[in-house]
């Protein structure tokens, strides 16, 4: 199954996308347990940012979310968010990891792809929610 690190660590303006990935995380966990008795392995691939045109396609949704939460100059703020996370791993790297996990004798249950995914998943639990929110708002220059 191919998901996203946003299924575990949510960024501002990505709520609907992150919610769908979080649901996929739960469905994958359940499926893995359900098919295990038959020797079927299920792996969840969780990339961080991947360098594709997905961000261009997502831009209108990000702009409307930014406007809905009261961000001034919503378009510029959404573009800034995308620019911060656009430089990610190549799609080829994600594909190599998918093939690798699919051909392993004992595939992993989960596989993080890229430094952003690893940093997010390992670092996020170490930071209290209020501090995390404040740092993200400052880095992305969100708010008035």
Which residues are the active-site residues?
A: 17
Burial 68-87 (b: 16+ CB within 10 A, else e): eeebeebeebbbebbeebee
- How far apart are the C-alpha atoms of 51 and 34, rounded to whole Å? 34
- Nearest CA-CA partner of 52 in 108, 119, 101, 4: 4
């Amino acid at each position: 199954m191919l998901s996203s690190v946003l299924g575990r660590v949510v960024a501002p303006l990505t709520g609907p996308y992150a919610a769908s990935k979080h649901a996929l995380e739960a469905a994958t966990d359940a499926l893995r347990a359900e098919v295990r008795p038959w020797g079927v392995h299920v792996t969840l691939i969780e990339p961080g940012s991947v360098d594709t045109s997905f961000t261009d396609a997502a831009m209108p949704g990000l702009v409307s979310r930014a406007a809905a939460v009261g961000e001034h100059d919503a378009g510029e703020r959404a573009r800034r968010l995308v620019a911060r996370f656009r430089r990610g791993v190549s799609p080829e790297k994600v594909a190599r990891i998918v093939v690798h996990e699919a051909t392993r004798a004992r595939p992993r249950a989960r596989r993080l792809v890229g430094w952003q995914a690893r940093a997010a998943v390992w670092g996020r639990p170490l930071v209290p929610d209020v501090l995390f929110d404040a740092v993200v708002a400052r880095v992305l220059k969100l708010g008035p």
